[in-house]
């Protein structure tokens, strides 16, 4: 079992101002639009995976970055998600190329940041399994030994070449600490109140309490809280799905093999089948999620609470799937919920806000935020610095698609 390091919130570092060097004509043109400065000043709002990835890749390009977060880095969905990664599961959708690029980038980042040890990156075999709660049974053909409940109809839906995982909170915080310690990203704890615009271009931002920070570029990576920021909500709607999860700590963690389970779960009382997911982690934990609903996101991530009924269902799923995960053999380490942001057309919003030069957005990634965070951040960094994203075609994700409908 790999030892996963604990990443604490590191101390504030002094921002480094680094001269941008680029030989490309597009980069030079973009630079002239901002002004002949040694460095653009970029303000990233949001300490989730999208904001942190964007700050990381911008800082690697020599940009002076300030990241603002109201609570703490990875305190919401980026800390409470499953961290499942899939190479080709988005094929056939508008997100296909983004997902494939991001899966590969996760692999590269794991090599760069020692992800196996620092945030639990590993390849997985992924199984589809049907579990009927009322029927007795003991495992089934093709199942790992620890899945010893009434399971059947097993099929492999992901191999170690096409599916993997990270511990999302450790991943996000590792990327953040590297961005600060190695590339000089600054952090401000506060709430964004306003983006000030002068002559159609970003001029500064205003935080709660009246603090004004001058900046050339703003990136709004606010996740479900995009729905509460008028500049964004006036252009497109963000819907918030509340997803529940539990984290278990089995007494025999070495018995739990790296197999992710996507369940069709038939409750004993009948009714519709549920679709919970089970992710063993190299930390020795087992993460189980499901039971989602549409709800209004509260003003603060600290105000998000789980619904007791949903948590009880997940506990029942755990003990039905495996005796290693019942009350006698596993400690409940966390009972939690988080909000996942989706747009009205189901496609993320990534790009520059129409009519406001220097104002960018990255949100609406739904349940694929951890997977698509790196490619989103890298592409936004390219767009901001070079004037065009080359790693991923962002035209399908542009916020201008909503203004065209109105």
For the chain, what's the residue count?
406
Q: Are 200 and 356 in contact (CB under 8 A)?
A: yes
Predicted pLDDT of residue 93: 97
Residues 6 or more apart in contact with residue 318 via CB below 8 angstroms: 246, 248, 278, 286, 288, 325, 326, 330
Q: What is the mean pLDDT of each run of 10 residues along the chain (406 residues)?
A: 34 24 33 47 98 98 96 96 98 98 98 98 97 75 90 92 98 98 96 97 97 97 97 96 98 97 92 95 97 92 94 97 97 98 96 97 98 98 97 97 72
Query: In this predicted structure, what is the pLDDT of residue 27?
Result: 35
First to last CA, the chain: 54
Give the domains, in start order, of the chain with CATH numbers. Answer: 39-102+167-236+346-405 (3.50.50.60)
DSSP for 268-305 reads TT-SSPB--EEEE-TTS-EEEEEEEEE-PPPSSGGG--
Question: What is the reported pLDDT for 34?
Answer: 37
For 177, the token pair is 């600490």
At 312 the pLDDT is 97
pLDDT at 30: 37
Confidence at residue 405, expressed as pLDDT on a 0 to 100 scale: 54
Beta bridge partners of 195: 205
């Amino acid at each position: 079992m790999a030892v996963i390091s604990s990443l604490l919130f590191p101390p504030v570092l002094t921002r480094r101002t680094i001269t941008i060097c680029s030989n490309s004509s597009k980069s030079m043109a973009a630079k002239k639009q901002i002004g002949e400065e040694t460095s653009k000043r970029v303000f990233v709002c949001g300490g989730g995976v999208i904001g942190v990835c964007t700050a990381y890749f911008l800082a690697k390009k020599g940009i002076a970055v300030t990241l603002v977060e109201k609570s703490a880095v990875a305190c919401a969905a980026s800390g409470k998600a499953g961290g499942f990664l899939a190479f080709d599961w988005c094929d056939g959708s508008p997100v296909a190329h983004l997902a494939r690029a991001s899966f590969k980038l996760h692999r590269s980042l794991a090599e760069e940041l020692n992800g196996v040890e620092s945030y639990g990156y590993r390849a997985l075999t992924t199984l589809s399994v049907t579990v009927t709660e009322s029927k007795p049974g003991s495992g089934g053909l093709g199942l790992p030994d620890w899945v010893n409940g009434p399971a059947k109809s097993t099929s492999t839906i992901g191999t170690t070449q096409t599916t993997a995982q990270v511990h999302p909170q450790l991943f996000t915080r590792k990327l953040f600490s590297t961005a600060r310690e190695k590339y000089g990203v600054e952090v401000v704890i506060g709430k964004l109140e306003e983006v000030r615009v002068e002559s159609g271009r970003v001029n500064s931002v205003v935080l709660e309490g009246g603090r004004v920070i001058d900046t050339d570029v703003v990136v709004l990576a606010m996740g479900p809280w995009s729905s509460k920021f008028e500049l964004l909500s006036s252009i497109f709607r963000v819907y918030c799905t509340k997803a529940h999860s539990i984290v278990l700590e089995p007494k025999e963690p070495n018995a739990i093999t790296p197999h992710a389970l996507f369940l069709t779960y038939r409750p004993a009382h009948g009714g519709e089948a549920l679709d919970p997911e089970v992710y063993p982690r190299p930390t020795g934990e087992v993460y189980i999620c499901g039971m989602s609903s549409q709800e209004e996101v509260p003003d603060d991530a600290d105000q998000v609470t789980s619904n007791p009924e949903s948590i009880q269902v997940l506990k029942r799923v755990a003990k039905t799937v495996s005796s290693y995960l019942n009350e006698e053999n596993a400690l409940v380490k966390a009972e939690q919920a988080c909000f996942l942001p989706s747009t009205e057309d189901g496609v993320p919003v990534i790009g520059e806000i129409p009519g406001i030069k220097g104002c960018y957005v990255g949100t609406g990634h739904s349940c694929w935020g951890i997977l698509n965070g790196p490619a989103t951040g890298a592409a936004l960094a390219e767009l901001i610095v070079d004037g065009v994203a080359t790693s991923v075609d962002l035209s399908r994700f542009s916020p201008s698609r909503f203004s065209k409908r109105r």
